[in-house]
Structure 1
Amino acid sequence: MHAIITLCFAHIKKRKIQNVLLAILIMLSTLLLATSVTIMMNTSNIFKKIHHDSNGAHQILTMGEDIHNPITVNNWWQEQQGVSASNLIPYRTLSRFKAHGVETQNLYLYMMNTPKKPIVIDRLPFLEGKNQDYPTKGTIWIPTSMAATSNISLGDAIEFNTGKKAFTLNVSGIVVDLPYGGPFTTNARIWMNESDYYKQFDTLIGSEQYMMALRFDDYQQSAKYWMEFEKFLNGPYLESKMEYEEIASFYLIINKIIGFLMIAFGVAMLFISLFIIGFSISDAILTNYKTIGVIKSLGLTSRKISATYVLQFSLLSVVSIIPGLITSTILSRVIIESSLSYLKAGKHLMIIQDFRITMLLAVIIFAIVILTAFIYSNKSRHVEPVQAIKYGMSEFANSKLNRRLNSSNRLSNFVNLPIQLQIGIKNITKNMKSSILIIVLTAITSAILVFSAVMLNSFISIKQNTPAWGYDSSHVVVTVSNEAAFSKQQFEQFLRSDERIKNHAWLDQFTGVLPNEPNQPLNINVDTIEGSFEDAGYETISGRNPVNKNEIALGINVAKALHKNLGDIVEVYIEGNQHHLIVTGIYQSIANMSNSARITADVIKVYNATYSASGVSLINLVDETLSPQIVDDVNNKFKSSVSAVTQQTLLDAVFKEVIAVLMIPLSVTGILFIAVTFIIIFSVSRINVRKESGTYGIFKSIGMTSSTIRWSITSGILFLSALGTILGIFIGVKVIPVALQSIILEYGLLELPLVINWPISIGLSLLSIVVACLGCWVSTKIIAKTSPRILLVE
C-alpha cells in the first residue's frame, strides 16, 4: 500500500499543471450538471409550491358576451362537491396606462373590482406592500410582471385612460398573480378598490364582464365535472376558459430550454473530461513504459500499478466535485432568480437544494471518473518487462509507430511542403487521438458560441421573422380603446387618404369552442380578420390562410388534438353559433401555444350580417421607417378613441425579458467552454511536446529556432481547430435547434424561427480557433525555455 501511495503522489507532483487542469475540467462538468439538475428540479417545484400556497386556480372562466348567464354558471359550480369556486369578480378592460410619464400600450388591462371578502382562490402573495384583504381607496395592486417590465415601484402613480377621461391611482401592492402575471404576458389584472371601480367605470359605455376561478380537489377529474356542466347547459360552454397548463407553461419554458442546454453541454464536458483522463493515463503509461517494466520485474503487480492511477484520479475527483457542487448552488440561484422573478414573494425564492440528489449526482460523477481511470489503467497489465526495457513500448506498438512515421514522411516528401508544415502534419498524424479530441472540442465550443449568438439575435431581431413565430408582420398596430368615441368610417377615410399607408386590415378575437369527443371541448382564441391575412403578414407551415366564409386555419396543437389535416371539416361554435369549416392551413404560433384558429370576418357575418371588426387595426406602410411618424399622427388625431404603437415596440416589450434571462446561462456556458478549450489543448499539447522533446532538441541543435518549432506545432492545431469550427457552425445552426424541438413543440412551435447574423456568428466561432492556437502556443513555451541538450536528455 505504501508503494501505491508513493507512486500516486509522484504522478501528481510530476504533472502538477496537467492534474490541476484535469481537476478544473471535472469541477466544470460537475458545475454544469448540478446547475442543470437544480434548475430543472426547482422550476416546476417553485411554481407548484406558489400555486399550492396561494390556493391557485386550475381554470379561469371569463363571461360577459351575453352567451351564458354568469350568475347561473357561478351558482352551478358553487354547488359541486370536490370543486372550490370563487365568487364572480366584475371587471372592465383598458388598453393603455402611463407611468413615469411614459405611456405603455402593449398590455391589455383587466381592471378588477376587488371583493371585500378575502380572496380564497388565487390568493395574491405580496412582493411589496402591506398584506390586506383589498386595496384602500385611491390605490391599486399590480402584478410583478407589470412592475418589472414597466419599472414600477411601490407608491408610484399610474395614470389610466378610458378614452373619455384619465384618472390616477397609486400602487400600494405588487403581487404574484399567477394566471395573468407570467413571462411574455400581454395581459395584467389591476386590483382596484370597489369605490374607485364604480367611480371610474359607472359611466363607461359597454357591459361589465365577469371572471371566476375553479380549483379541483383532484384536477384529473375535471373532465367529469365538465361533462356534467355541459349537460346542465344543454351544450358546450361557449366563452373563454384558461386551463392550468396555460397558466403554468410560460413560467416554465425558459428554464426548460436552459436546463436542456446545460444538461447537454454538461454531459459533453464530462465526456471530454473522461477522454482527457483516459488520454492522460495512456500517455503516462507510454511515457513511463520502461519504468513500469522495471517495477514489474521487481515484483509490483499490474493490479497495484493500476491502483496508483485509480487513487490519483479519486483524489482529483474529490477535490474537484465538492467545489463544483458549491459553485452550482450560486449559479443556479442566479439563473432561477432571474427567470422566475415574477414568482418572487419576498426577497428570495425558496430554492430547493435536495442534498440526496446532489450527493447522488456527485457519486455518479465520481464513479464514472473512477471507472474510466480503472479501464484505462488496466493497459499497464499488458506491459512486458523485457519489451519495455528494450523498446520503451510494446514490440507491436514500436512497429506500428515506425510504419506511421514512414507513411508520414512519404506524405510530406510527396507534397514537398516547407519544414514548418511538415512538423505540423507529423504532430497531427502521430497523435491521432489528440487530433480527434481537438476537432471535437473546438466543434462543441464553436457550436455553443454560434447557437448562443443565433438564439439571442433571433429574439433581438424578432421583427425580421415575426410570421414564423405566429405574429403578423404589420408596421403599426392601432387598438380601439373607446368604442363610444370611435368612428371607424372616419378612421378608414384617414388611412385611405394617407399616401404613406400601403394597406390595412382589422383584427378581432372571439372565443371558439371545438367539440373533441371523448375529451373536453377545446376553448380557443379565434383570430378574425377583416381584410387579408396575407397582407397582414400571417403565415402557415402548410396550406394557406382562410379566404372564404367556409374556411379555417388551425394552430398545430389544435390540429394535433383534433387529428385534423388540410381539407378536413371541423365543427366550431363562435358566439353560440355552430359552423362547419374546411381546414385550409395549419400554422405555428407561440402565442397561446398554437391553441388558436384563424377565420375571416365573413364567417361571423353568416349569423351577424351587420358585424364589422373594429378591435385592432394592422397597418402596413410604403416605407417602414415612417412608422413613428404614423404612430404620432394617429395618436394625435384620434387620441380620445385609439392608441397606436409600432409593431417593434410591442415585440420588444414581450421578448426583451427573454434576452435578459437567456444572456446569463448562455454567456456562462460559452465562457466555460472557451476556458475548457484552452485548458485541454494546453494540456494535450504539453503532453505531446514532452513525448517529442528529443525530436525538438535535435531540431534546435541543428539551428531551428524555438519560434519556428512553436509556429510549426501551432499550425497543426490551427488546421484541426478550423475543421472543428466549421463542423461546430453546422451543429450550432442546424443540430441544436432540432434537438430543442421536443420542448418548443409543446409551446406551439414546430420549428424554432432563427435569424442568423453570419458575421457575428462566424466571428464568435473563430474564438475557438484563437483559443486553441493560444493554448498550444503557451504550452510550447517550454521549448523556448529549455536548452537542446536537456531536451535530448528528456
Structure 2
Amino acid sequence: MYLNILKRDLKRKKTMNVILLIFVMLSAMFMASSVNNIIAVTNGLDFFYEKAGMSDFFVIEMATEDTGLQKAVEKLDSVSDCQKEPMISGSGDDIKIEGNQKVTVGTSPLYMSVDDAQLNYFDQNNNIITEVEKGKIYISGSFAANNNLEIGDKITLVIGDTQKEFEYTGKAKDALLGSNFLGNPRFIMNYEDFKCLYNDEMAKERSGYIYYIDTTDIPEVKATIGEFNGVTLNETAATMKNTYLLDMIVAALLLVVCVFLIIVSFVVLKHTIGFTIAEEFREIGVMKAIGMKNSSIRTLYLIKYFAITVVGSALGFVLSVPFSDMMLKSVSESMYLESENNIFVGLLCSLLVVGLTLIFCWSSTSKIKKLTPIDAVRNGTTGERFRKKSLMHLSKSKLSSGIFLAANDIVSAPKKYSVITTVFAILIMLVMVLANTANTLKSENTLTLIGCIPSDAYILSEPKSTEEVEEILAENNMPGSVREEKAYSLGAIIGDEKTTLSFQHSADTNAADYVYGNGVAPEDENEVSLSYLISEEFGVGIGDEITLIVDGEEKICMVTALHQTMNSMGKVNRLHQDFDVSSFDSISSLGYQIDFDEALTKEELNERIEKLKDIFGEEDVKNSAEMARDTLGAAETMETIKNLTLVIVLFIVILVAVLMERSFISSEKAEIAFMKAMGFSNKSIIWHHTLRFGIVALVASIIAAALCLPATHLAIDPIFRMMGAIAGVSYEIVPLEIFLIYPAILVAVTIISAFFTSIYTNTIKSSDASNIE
C-alpha cells in the first residue's frame, strides 16, 4: 500500500519532488567533498612532511662562507642531527622565460642542486626527485602557474657574468617552501649546472645555507642561532605547516557553504512538508476517519522523503568524487597526499545527510496530530478567525491593484514569506561575506598588516638604493621621496631565554607613522614594538625590557607598543628609525615606496605609474591595491571561491523561487480561478505573483546588506587571527557591490524565475473556482 501511494504522490508533484531531490543532492555533494578535502589537507600535510623527511627546526642563513653555525648547533645535547643545503638567493631580474626579462616571482627564488638535497622533493607523480638531467630544471611553488610556464619551455638564469639556459621539466613538491602562501620557489637543477652559477662572484655574494635540525629543545637551538647575524629564517615545522593555511581555508569555506546549503534545504523541506499537509487535509482526515493512527500517517510521509533523500544522497555521493578532485587539484599539485579522495568519508557524509533529513522530516510532520476527520468536511479550516487577516486596506491604499495584492499577500502571511526571505538573505549574505573578504585582501588598507605605510607607488626592482631611485624620478620630472622597508633577524634575550627575533625597519619612515594596537610608538633607538604573538609567546608586554644582540654586545630596549602583522605568520616586530642596522644583512625587503612631492589626482597618479612601468618594468611597479594583493597572495583565491559560491547561490535561488511559486499556485488554485472569473487577465495575475517574490528578494537584500559586516567578522576574523591579525581586521566594503550589484542580481534572478514559473497560472480556468481539488 505504501509503495503504491508513494508512486502516485511522486508522479503528482514532479516539480516539487525534483527540486527537493536537487537540494538533498547538493547538500550531500558539498558535505562529502568539503569534509573529504579538509581531512585530505590536514592529514595529508602530516603524511607529506613524513615522506619528505622534514626536521623539527629550520634555519636559512645568508653567508658567503661557512660561519660555523652547523658546528655550534651540533654541539648541543638536544640536537640529534643537523644537515645543510647550499643555495643561491636569486631575484626576478635573474630570470628570463623565452627571452622575456620580467617574470612574477614573489620574494626570492632559491637555486640549489639536487645532489645537495637534504629533503625529499617530489615530482607531480609523487616520485622522489633523485636526479636532474643537465640543462633541465624543476621549480616548486606557484612560479610556473604565475608565469604560464609549460613543460618544455626554456628558462634562462643570469647571475653576474654567467648565463645558463634550462628546460622546464615540471613542478616540484617542496614540503618546506612549496606552499602557495610563500614566495620562495626552489629551482632544483643538476650539480654541474649549479656549480656553474655558484662560481660567479655575484652568486657567491648571494649564497647561503638551509639547515635542517632535529632537536628536543627548540628554545636552546634558537638561543644558539641568535649569535649569528646572517640568519633570515628560523622556524619550527609546526609554524611552516601554517603556510598551507590558504589551502585549508578553501576547504573550510566550502564546508561553510555546505552548512548554509543544508540549513536552506531544511527550511525549504519544512515549508514543503507544511504545505503538503495543509493541502492534503482531506486525505489525512479520511485516513484518520478509517482508523489510521498518527504514527502510521507520519510514516507514510516519511517513506516518501526517505526515498527522495536516499536517491539525492546517492547522486550527491557520486558527484562529490569528481567535485572533490577538482577542488583538490591545486592542493595536490603542491603536496604529496596519501589519499586524495576517501570514499568512506563521502559515504559517511551522505548517510549523515539522510539521517538528518529524516529526523527533520519526522519532526515537521507533527502537525498531522492536530488534524481531525472533521477537517475533511470543513475544507481544512474551522471557519473561525480571531484576528485581522491584514493590516492593509484596499480602500485606503493608493497602490495599483497588482502592487497592493502582492504586498497584501506578504503582510497577510508573514510566516510563510519570512521563510523565503530568510533563505534569500542567508544565501546572498554568504556571497557578501566572501566579497568583503576578497576586497579587503586587495585593499591598500591591509598594507598596515604587512608593516607597510600606503604610498603612491611601489617598485620591486633590485638591486638599487633609495638615492638612485630618487635620482631616476627627478630625471623623469617626477620628484618624490623614496623609502625602503627591510626586515632583519636579531639575536635577543628575553628574561632568561635566548632567541632570534625578526624586526622591520625603515630609516626614512617615522616610527609614529605606523599603526599600533596598544601603547605608543617607539620614540628613540632604545624602544621597540612587539607583535601580539611574540608578546604572548614570551610573556612580555608594554613597559618590559628585552635585550638585543648588536655586534656581539647587549643593547637593552623597552617595549613601548604592541602591533599586529601578517608577516611571518604574525611574528615580525618593529625597530625605531634611528636604530643602527648597518652591521646586519637584511633578510627581505618590501621594495621601494614612492611618495611624489606633488598632490596628484587619481588619473595623474595612474599616468605616473604607467611611466614608472616603462622605466622599471611592467611587473616591478605596483599601486597600493596591487601591492596588497600580491603580497598577501590570497585575493585571487578568494575571488574564485566568491564567484563559485555566487553561481551556486543563484542556482539555489532559482530552485527556491520555482518550488515556492509552484506550491503557491497549487494552494491558491481556487483564488486564481476566482480572480479570473472577476475579470483579472493572465498578465495581471502573473504580475501579481512575480511581484511578491520581487518584494521578498528586495527585503532579503536589505537585511543581508545590514548584517553582512557582523557576519564577516564572525566568519572570517578567526581565519585572519590564524595568520597573525590578532586584533581583527577593518574590512573593505565596496558600496556599489554590496548595496547595488548583488541585491540587483538577487532581485533580477528571483523575478525571472518567479515570472516563468507563474506562467503556469494560465492553465487554471475560471471554472476551477468551484473545485476545491
Shorter-chain TM band? 0.7 to 0.9
The structural deviation recorded for 1:309 is 0.4
- 1:748, 1:285 → 2: CA distance? 53
Alignment of 1:699-718 (within 5 A): 699-718=675-694
Query: Given that residues 130 and 173 in structure 1 are in contact (C-alpha distance below 8 angstroms), is that contact kept between their aligned partners in structure 2?
Result: no
The structural deviation recorded for 1:337 is 0.7
* SS at 2:48 equivalent: helix
Which residue number in structure 2 is paired with residue 36 of structure 1?
34
Which residue number in structure 2 is paired with residue 620 of structure 1?
595
Q: Label 1:114 to 1:339 Cα distance change in 2 as closer, same or farther (>3 A).
A: closer
Alignment of 1:81-160 (within 5 A): 83-94=80-91, 96=93, 97-100=95-98, 101-104=100-103, 106-109=105-108, 111-114=110-113, 116=115, 119=117, 121-127=118-124, 133-160=130-157
Query: Given that residues 267 and 423 in structure 2 are in contact (C-alpha distance below 8 angstroms), is that contact kept between their aligned partners in structure 1?
Result: no
- 1:410, 1:115 → 2: CA distance? 79
Which residue number in structure 1 is paired with residue 348 of structure 2?
360
Which residue number in structure 2 is paired with residue 72 of structure 1?
71
- 1:234, 1:142 → 2: CA distance? 31
- 2:694, 2:616 → 1: CA distance? 58
Which residue number in structure 2 is paired with residue 392 of structure 1?
379
Count of matched residue positions in the alignment of Structure 1 and Structure 2: 757
- 1:203, 1:260 → 2: CA distance? 47
Gaps of 5+ in 1: 217-221, 637-642
* SS at 1:89 equivalent: strand
- 1:634, 1:709 → 2: CA distance? 65
Matched, 1:501 2:499: no
The structural deviation recorded for 1:364 is 2.0
Which residue number in structure 2 is paired with residue 241 of structure 1?
234
Which residue number in structure 1 is paired with residue 296 of structure 2?
304
Which letter maps to 2:757?
S
- 2:66, 2:191 → 1: CA distance? 26
- 2:219, 2:28 → 1: CA distance? 50
Query: Given that residues 487 and 589 in structure 2 are in contact (C-alpha distance below 8 angstroms), is that contact kept between their aligned partners in structure 1?
Result: no
- 2:589, 2:633 → 1: CA distance? 30
- 2:407, 2:494 → 1: CA distance? 66
Which letter maps to 2:378?
Y
- 1:538, 1:711 → 2: CA distance? 57
The structural deviation recorded for 1:677 is 1.7
Q: Label 1:475 to 1:152 Cα distance change in 2 as closer, same or farther (>3 A).
A: farther
Alignment of 1:158-557 (within 5 A): 158-163=155-160, 166-172=163-169, 174-204=171-201, 209-214=207-212, 216=214, 222=215, 224-226=216-218, 229=221, 239=231, 240-253=233-246, 255-343=247-335, 351-386=339-374, 388-393=375-380, 395=382, 398-399=383-384, 402-404=385-387, 406-408=388-390, 411-415=393-397, 417-459=399-441, 461-463=442-444, 465-468=446-449, 470-477=451-458, 481=462, 499-515=477-493, 523-533=500-510, 538-543=514-519, 545-557=521-533
Farther-moved stretch of structure 1 (435-444 vs 267-276): 267-276
* SS at 1:554 equivalent: strand
The structural deviation recorded for 1:215 is 5.5
Which letter maps to 2:302?
V
* SS at 2:120 equivalent: coil
- 1:234, 1:760 → 2: CA distance? 49
Which residue number in structure 2 is paired with residue 219 of structure 1?
none
Matched, 1:689 2:676: no
Query: Given that residues 556 and 594 in structure 1 are in contact (C-alpha distance below 8 angstroms), is that contact kept between their aligned partners in structure 2?
Result: yes
Which residue number in structure 1 is paired with residue 15 of structure 2?
17
The structural deviation recorded for 1:436 is 0.8
Query: Given that residues 128 and 173 in structure 1 are in contact (C-alpha distance below 8 angstroms), is that contact kept between their aligned partners in structure 2?
Result: no
- 2:616, 2:399 → 1: CA distance? 71
Q: Label 1:382 to 1:127 Cα distance change in 2 as closer, same or farther (>3 A).
A: closer
Gaps of 5+ in 2: none
Query: Given that residues 89 and 210 in structure 1 are in contact (C-alpha distance below 8 angstroms), is that contact kept between their aligned partners in structure 2?
Result: yes
* SS at 2:670 equivalent: helix
Which residue number in structure 1 is paired with residue 643 of structure 2?
667
Q: Label 1:487 to 1:435 Cα distance change in 2 as closer, same or farther (>3 A).
A: closer
Which letter maps to 1:102?
Q
Cα RMSD over matched residues? 3.7
Q: Label 1:302 to 1:214 Cα distance change in 2 as closer, same or farther (>3 A).
A: same
Q: Label 1:492 to 1:371 Cα distance change in 2 as closer, same or farther (>3 A).
A: closer
The structural deviation recorded for 1:576 is 4.7
* SS at 1:603 equivalent: coil
The structural deviation recorded for 1:329 is 1.7
* SS at 2:579 equivalent: helix
The structural deviation recorded for 1:707 is 1.8
Which residue number in structure 2 is paired with residue 639 of structure 1?
none
The structural deviation recorded for 1:747 is 0.5
Matched, 1:743 2:719: yes
Q: Label 1:619 to 1:296 Cα distance change in 2 as closer, same or farther (>3 A).
A: same
Q: Label 1:522 to 1:95 Cα distance change in 2 as closer, same or farther (>3 A).
A: farther
- 1:475, 1:129 → 2: CA distance? 45
Q: Label 1:501 to 1:593 Cα distance change in 2 as closer, same or farther (>3 A).
A: farther
Query: Given that residues 89 and 115 in structure 1 are in contact (C-alpha distance below 8 angstroms), is that contact kept between their aligned partners in structure 2?
Result: no
Q: Percent identity?
A: 15
* SS at 2:188 equivalent: strand
- 1:480, 1:163 → 2: CA distance? 16
Q: Label 1:195 to 1:6 Cα distance change in 2 as closer, same or farther (>3 A).
A: closer
Farther-moved stretch of structure 1 (659-668 vs 55-64): 659-668
Query: Given that residues 129 and 173 in structure 1 are in contact (C-alpha distance below 8 angstroms), is that contact kept between their aligned partners in structure 2?
Result: no
The structural deviation recorded for 1:773 is 2.4
The structural deviation recorded for 1:552 is 1.9
